[in-house]
Amino acid sequence: MADLSTDFLGIRSPNPFWLASAPPTDKIINVMRALDAGWGGVVWKTLGSQVKNVSSRYSSVNYGSKRMMGFNNIELISDRPLHLNLREITEVVKRYPDRAMIVSLMADNDRASWHTLIRQCEDAGAMGFELNFGCPHGMTERGMGAAVGQDPEIAKMVVEWVMEKATIPVITKLTPNVHSVVPTARASVEGGSNALSLINTIQSVTGVDLDTLVPNPYVAGKSVYGGYCGPAVKPIALKMLTTVAQDPLTSTVPISGIGGISTWRDAVEFMLLGATTVQICTAAMTHGFRIIEDLCEGMSNWMDEKGFVHTRDFVGKSVPNITHWEDLDINYHHIAHINQDKCIHCGLCYIACEDTSHQSIRLDRGNPYNTYTIIEEECVGCNLCQLVCPVADCITMVEQRVSPEYVNWKEWQRRGLPLNDH
């Protein structure tokens, strides 16, 4: 039986699944329900400057029958009185001493405000801090949130203020609303941050109501850019995570991965690309806290299958497998193969290849079922047919190396080998 427990800078949790700083961690009733359900810990919704929220706050992107494929919000940090939040944090820590209690912070932009807030939260029993340098809406206009995270200099300065006072681990949460997260990540580590977490939400417009012509979410005939999250952002988050996990400086600190994690598979992927723990919000907001059961069981079963005893045994294992394009092996080649016994003759591979790729699938008309076969000499091995095929393992990509030797782009150029072969 795999051991899912994690140790993040001394903050222990029975599993790597924390609830991200968001509405589900806004108050004690939600948090206790989550911890009773089995979540490893929480990042309490951001405390700091006093705010006022609007109605409505959320909107989503549906895809086919799937709702909440992408999700955005225009909610600000906690709009509850600070003393109430602190009292509840104390209560939770007392009742659930084995769970991680991280508190997200976004103080007003001065040293004294940060120091006061840090003292108050430490007194309340927080085990760690997460600095919210990423909120993309509402707070940025006041010089907070993403306004800090988008400027490495400012981020470093604020981290330094925090480190002057904090006696517990500090995680800096990064905004994805930058061309690269690495500069702010480096600045934060240079400023003393003990860890990083990413990504925060991405600025977005989820859609426009075609009747009212007002974008979503709707507030009295207007809308604003909201922070985008949910399954749709996972690939972006994984990429940003990898850049931090590969950087010589930022890879020296632990990372908490965030961004569209819905299943144990997603969580494993984040951990393989360098996350020690993962944070989840949208999946819980879509289905409730009960998803924790399969998150744990699925990861545990996978670890057993793969022979991993502790989560640390696989954290970061895939990081070296993302390389630079110029280091890819040009002599590697694979081509599609269609298993005729599995083919259901839907023609999706054919029309995708014929219209938009390399005309590598042969069509023999039948009534009503056509036969589709790969024209091997035309196939560039792009995967498109396999990706659109609705039947598992019907189309497989079969390795057919051009030659056994590893030759990358740099070497290819050096040798003057032929280009433009398709």
Partner 1 sequence: MAILNNRLSPSAYAEHFQDIHPPFETLDAALVEANRCLFCYDAPCTKLCPTSIDVPKFIKQIATGNVRGSAHTILSANIMGAGCSKVCPVEKLCEGACVFNLMHEPPINIARLQRYSTEKAMAARWPLFTRKPPTGKRVAVVGAGPAGLSCAHALSREGIDVTLYEREPKGGGLMTYGIAAYKVTPEFCEEEVQYILSLGGVTIQYEQTLGANLTLETLQAQYDAVYLAFGVGQARQLNIPGEALEGVVDALSFIYQLRAEGFSAVPVGDKVAVIGMGMTAIDAATQARRLGASEVTLVYRRTQDEMPCTQHELDIAKLDGCQVIWLAAPSEVLGLDGKVQQLVCERMELGEPDASGRRSPKPTGETFAMHVDMVIKAAGQEPFGALVSNLSLAHKQGRVQVADKTRTNLPGVFAGGDCVNGGREVVDAVQAGKDGAASILIYLAGSHS
Of 126, 140, 163, 119, give the one whose Cα is nearest residue 44. Answer: 126
How many Cβ atoms from other residues are within 10 Å of residue 275's Cβ?
31
Write down the least CB distance from residue 362 to partner 1, Å: 13
Q: Which stretch binds partner 1 (CB under 8 A): 3-11, 148-156, 297-305, 364-372?
A: 364-372
Instruction: Examine residue 350 and tell whether it contacts partner 1 (CB under 8 A).
Output: yes
Q: Is 135 an annotated catalytic residue? A: yes
Q: Which stretch binds partner 1 (CB under 8 A): 5-13, 84-92, 289-297, 339-347?
A: 339-347
Q: Which is nearer to partner 1, 236 or 346 (CB)?
A: 346
Q: Which is nearer to partner 1, 55 or 65 (CB)?
A: 65
Instruction: Examine residue 368 and tell whether it contacts partner 1 (CB under 8 A).
Output: yes
Write down the least CB distance from residue 210 to partner 1, Å: 9
Size of the site for partner 1 (CB under 8 A): 17
Strand 170-173 with 334-338, pairing: unpaired
Instruction: Examine residue 248 and tell whether it contacts partner 1 (CB under 8 A).
Output: no
Max CA pair span of the chain: 78
The number of helix segments (H) and strand segments (E) in the chain equals 13, 18
Find where tokens 């991680």 sit: 100
- Residue in 64, 221, 404, 416 binding partner 1, rule: CB under 8 A: 64
By 3-state DSSP, what share of the chain in percent is helix, strand and coil, each rounded to 5? 35, 20, 40
Instruction: Examine residue 322 and tell whether it contacts partner 1 (CB under 8 A).
Output: no
Write down the least CB distance from residue 396 to partner 1, Å: 18
Of 368, 400, 372, give the one whose Cα is nearest residue 385. Answer: 372
Q: Which stretch binds partner 1 (CB under 8 A): 18-26, 199-207, 221-229, 344-352?
A: 344-352
Write down the least CB distance from residue 283 to partner 1, Å: 21
Instruction: Examine residue 370 and tell whether it contacts partner 1 (CB under 8 A).
Output: yes
Instruction: Examine residue 211 and tell whether it contacts partner 1 (CB under 8 A).
Output: no
Instruction: Examine residue 367 and tell whether it contacts partner 1 (CB under 8 A).
Output: yes
Return d(Cα 155, Cα 148) in angstroms, integer: 5
265-269-274-279 Cα dihedral, nearest 10 degrees: -50
Q: Which is nearer to partner 1, 66 or 265 (CB)?
A: 66
Of 308, 230, 306, 241, give the one whose Cα is nearest residue 269. Answer: 241
Q: Which is nearer to partner 1, 305 or 393 (CB)?
A: 393
Instruction: Examine residue 387 and tell whether it contacts partner 1 (CB under 8 A).
Output: no
Of 381, 391, 393, 383, give the one whose Cα is nearest residue 422. Answer: 381
Return d(Cα 77, Cα 133) in angstroms, integer: 12
Q: Which is nearer to partner 1, 309 or 363 (CB)?
A: 363
Residue type, 60: S
Return d(Cα 166, Cα 154) in angstroms, integer: 18
Catalytic residue numbers read: 135
Residues forming contacts to partner 1 in the complex (CB under 8 A) are 64-65, 344-348, 350-351, 363, 365, 367-370, 390-391
